[in-house]
Amino acid sequence: MRTKLSPKGLRTKNELLETAYALFLERGIHATSIDDILRVSGKGKSQFYHYFNNKEDLLHRLLQAHLDELKQGDAPYNIEVHSWDGLGEWLEKLITFYRSLGKAKGCILGMIGQEMAPEEELIRQDLQMIFDLKMKAPKTFFIGLDAQGKLKSGVTPEQLSDFLLAQIQGSVFLTKVFQDERITNNSVHLIIDALRSFEVTSA
């Protein structure tokens, strides 16, 4: 069990995490070595291994920090969704958040998912928890529609939530590839329209 860190130790650990995060976004996970992180951060190898077992452990702690932020409600898109308009607002806030990362950065969660090795089960679990929490608001809305009998037969809240997540991640990825924000701009309303097509309409 790791002992409680001193203020100086916490600063050192956070500097390593922040440096790694920036390098992962710039170069990719696999292309960033521990030596790269040490060189840019100005820290020593003994310091790195005092706080982390290896690069996977560092990545795990980065994801855990992001998960803690989501739990605390600090994310700008952490709002309740009670209507289709509310879902549109949630989606706009999420896309705006991704834009704030910068075109060159894209979404580090998608990057980690693409580069993750099959045996990295801990990282997979981290990502699943993050996406589950991130999608909590729209999924709760879909569950409410289902409880009111407003979803078409054979359609489940889980399917709609999975569809929404796939569309978001896909549009963010393609926006990064083509460096064209029209992809996400055009996708927002089409995604909502596609989801609404599964709602039971009055005769």
| pLDDT higher than threshold 90 for residue 1 | no
Q: Is the pLDDT of residue 113 over 90?
A: no
**Percent of all residues in the chain with a pLDDT value above 90, rounded to a whole number:** 55
- CATH number, span 76-196: 1.10.357
Q: Which residues pair with 151 in a beta bridge?
A: 199
Percent of the chain with pLDDT over 70: 94
What's the pLDDT at 109? 79
Domain boundaries, the chain: 7-66, 76-196
Q: Please list, in sequence order, all residues whose beta carbon lies within 8 angstroms of the beta carbon of residue 1, skipping any fewer than 6 positions away.
A: none
Scan for tokens 């003994």, then name that residue.
Answer: 46
pLDDT of residue 101: 64
CA–CA gap between residue 196 and residue 141 (Å, rounded):
12
Residue 123 burial (CB < 10 Å; 0-12/13-18/19+)? buried
Which of 28-37, 89-98, 110-119 comes out lowest in average pLDDT?
Answer: 110-119
**Quick one: DSSP state of residue 151?**
B
The per-residue pLDDT for range 130-186, each reduced to its tens digit, is: 999 889 999 999 999 999 999 999 999 999 999 999 998 888 878 777 878 888 888
**Buried b / exposed e along 21-30 (16+ C-beta atoms within 10 A):** bebbbeeebe
pLDDT of residue 2: 53
pLDDT at res. 105: 44
Residues in the chain: 203
Considering only residues 110 and 39, tell me which one the structure prediction assigns the higher pLDDT: 39
Mean pLDDT, residues 74-79 taken together? 78
For the segment 114-133, the average pLDDT, to the nearest whole number, is: 88
CATH dotted code for 7-66: 1.10.10.60
pLDDT per residue as tens digits for the range 77-112: 788 999 999 999 999 888 887 777 654 444 677 788
Residue 197 has pLDDT above 90, yes or no: yes
Is 94 within 8 Å of 169 (Cβ atoms)?
Answer: no
What does the alpha-carbon distance between residue 128 and residue 137 come to, in Å, rounded to a whole number?
Answer: 16
Q: Tell me, what's the pLDDT at 107?
A: 64
Q: What is the pLDDT of residue 65?
A: 87
